[in-house]
């Protein structure tokens, strides 16, 4: 099972474990949330009859009616702006924005209101809303369909930014996001929508915590979203080469779980951060900087990062050259000043 240490088994219901895709887990989380809280409403573009372009909202309108899951006019600022008003008036909106790049029209509403209304009103008005965005590449999508925009949200005070990498976390974290009194940007790694895993629906994730995805003693890989399976794959290869690689699934991009990450890297003394987004001024830079600062005395080598290039996302045919891959991760690991090698790469 891939349940994180900090997550809690909610007693209200009996444990029910089954195997499903991440898409199915998200769908189930939405259905369970709608059913258990009358204030939860799901809306966005094509989430009704169609069930969303990725079918994450499949069947919700049929099952719960137009009042609980419905299509809006095609306007993202409108979707988020009305969600703000609904949240002010007691609802718990869960909105879907179709792709990362199509969340951008809503950016003013997200930054100037979603993130700030609670603070502005001294907590009188809270923003218990969730903005779901399928993010990242790896599916051969054309321009505007493969970006990773987490840095924009993570940099914005007031927003919780989450991204699951397993069906279990998809379920548990989405339930936690919907239950949160604070606004959550929920980034769904679209490349992983169809990967399967066990889901225990009695588990609610603890927002703000990372998850140790693999134990290891030589080096720590810090990853989130679709980079987690990549890190695990690299760890497997490295293991065959005799290196014990730990993998931490950051999963809460903001707030950040310093306790888990700092302890992990202090123990191994080496770290590589992996993310798809362009590296410059990114969540990966933040993680790298934090780890550096907090683990300085423990580091055997500089913390490295393997990220997307500081270029626009690649067209489908070049995607595999753009995205972090196992070789780049292994190269980064190799550069971490191993005792059996001479240090000479700091020029």
Which residues, 6 or more positions from 334, have their beta carbon under 8 angstroms from its beta carbon?
A: none
Q: Does 285 bind its own copies (CB under 8 A)?
A: yes
User: DSSP secondary-structure letter at 145?
Assistant: S
Nearer residue to its own copies within complex by CB, 151 or 235: 151
Nearer residue to ligand TPP within complex by CB, 134 or 279: 134
Nearer residue to other proteins within complex by CB, 303 or 306: 306
- The CA-based dihedral angle spanning residues 278, 283, 287, 289, taken in that order and rounded to the nearest 10 degrees: 70
Given the rule CB under 6 A, which residues bind ligand TPP?
Answer: 45, 74, 98, 102, 105
Nearer residue to its own copies within complex by CB, 64 or 102: 102
Interface residue with its own copies among 33, 114, 303, 323 (CB under 8 A) is 303
Nearer residue to its own copies within complex by CB, 34 or 250: 250
CA 323 to chain centre: 17
Interface residue with its own copies among 302, 319, 326, 328 (CB under 8 A) is 302
| Binding region for its own copies (CB under 8 A) out of 59-67, 123-131, 228-236, 283-291 | 283-291
Which residues, 6 or more positions from 141, have their beta carbon under 8 angstroms from its beta carbon?
A: 99, 316
Q: How far is the CB of 334 from other proteins (least distance, A)?
A: 9
Q: How far is the CB of 256 from other proteins (least distance, A)?
A: 5
Instruction: Check: CB of residue 284 under 8 Å from CB of residue 307.
Output: yes
Instruction: Check: CB of residue 163 under 8 Å from CB of residue 134.
Output: no
Interface residue with its own copies among 104, 204, 212, 237 (CB under 8 A) is 104
Both tokens of 145, joined, read 């369909």
Q: How far is the CB of 264 from other proteins (least distance, A)?
A: 15
Peptide bond into 255 cis (omega under 30): yes
144 is annotated as an active-site residue: no
User: DSSP secondary-structure letter at 314?
Assistant: P
Task: Write down the catalytic residue from 5, 113, 144, 145.
Answer: 145
User: Could you tell me which of 44, 34, 94, 37 has the C-alpha nearest to residue 65?
Assistant: 34
Q: Does 289 bind its own copies (CB under 8 A)?
A: yes
| Binding region for its own copies (CB under 8 A) out of 13-21, 90-98, 169-177, 303-311 | 303-311
User: DSSP secondary-structure letter at 102?
Assistant: G
User: Could you tell me which of 153, 237, 227 has the C-alpha nearest to residue 192?
Assistant: 227
Q: Does 223 bind its own copies (CB under 8 A)?
A: no
Q: How far is the CB of 147 from ligand TPP (least distance, A)?
A: 12
- Alpha carbons 273 and 308: distance in angstroms, whole number: 12
* 70-82: b (≥16 Cβ within 10 Å) or e: bbbeeebeebbbb
Residues that bind its own copies (CB under 8 A): 77, 101, 104-105, 107-108, 111-112, 115-116, 119-120, 143-144, 151-152, 154-158, 254, 256, 277-278, 280-283, 285-286, 288-290, 292-293, 296-299, 301-305, 309-312, 343, 346
Q: Annotated active-site positions, please?
A: 145
């Amino acid at each position: 099972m891939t349940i994180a240490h900090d997550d809690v088994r909610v007693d209200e219901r009996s444990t029910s474990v089954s195997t499903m895709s991440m898409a199915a887990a998200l769908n189930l989380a939405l259905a369970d949330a709608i059913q258990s809280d009358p204030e939860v409403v799901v809306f966005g573009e094509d989430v009704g009859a169609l069930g969303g372009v990725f079918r994450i909202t499949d069947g919700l309108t049929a099952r719960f009616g137009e009042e609980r899951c419905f299509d809006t006019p095609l306007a993202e600022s409108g979707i988020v702006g009305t969600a703000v008003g609904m949240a002010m008036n007691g609802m718990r909106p869960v909105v879907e924005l179709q792709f990362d790049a199509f969340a951008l029209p809503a950016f003013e509403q997200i930054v100037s209101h979603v993130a700030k209304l609670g603070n502005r009103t001294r907590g009188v008005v809270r923003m218990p809303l969730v903005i779901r965005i399928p993010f990242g590449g790896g599916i051969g999508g054309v321009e505007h369909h493969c970006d990773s925009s987490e840095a924009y949200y993570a940099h914005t005070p007031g927003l919780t930014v989450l991204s699951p990498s397993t069906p279990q976390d998809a379920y548990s974290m989405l339930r936690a996001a919907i239950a949160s009194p604070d606004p959550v940007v929920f980034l769904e790694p679209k490349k992983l929508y169809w990967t399967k895993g066990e889901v225990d629906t009695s588990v609610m994730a603890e927002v703000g915590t990372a998850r140790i995805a693999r134990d290891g003693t030589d080096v720590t890989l810090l990853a989130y979203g679709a980079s987690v399976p990549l890190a695990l794959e690299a760890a497997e290869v490295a293991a065959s080469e005799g290196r014990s690689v730990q993998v931490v699934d950051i999963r809460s991009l903001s707030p950040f779980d310093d306790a888990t990450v700092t302890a992990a890297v202090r123990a191994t003394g080496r770290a590589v951060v992996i993310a798809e987004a362009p590296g410059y001024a990114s969540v990966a830079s933040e993680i790298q900087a934090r780890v550096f600062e907090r683990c300085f005395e423990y580091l055997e080598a500089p913390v490295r990062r393997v990220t997307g290039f500081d270029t626009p996302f690649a067209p489908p045919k070049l995607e595999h050259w753009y995205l972090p891959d196992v070789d780049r991760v292994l190269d980064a690991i190799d550069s971490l000043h191993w005792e059996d090698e001479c240090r000479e790469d700091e020029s």
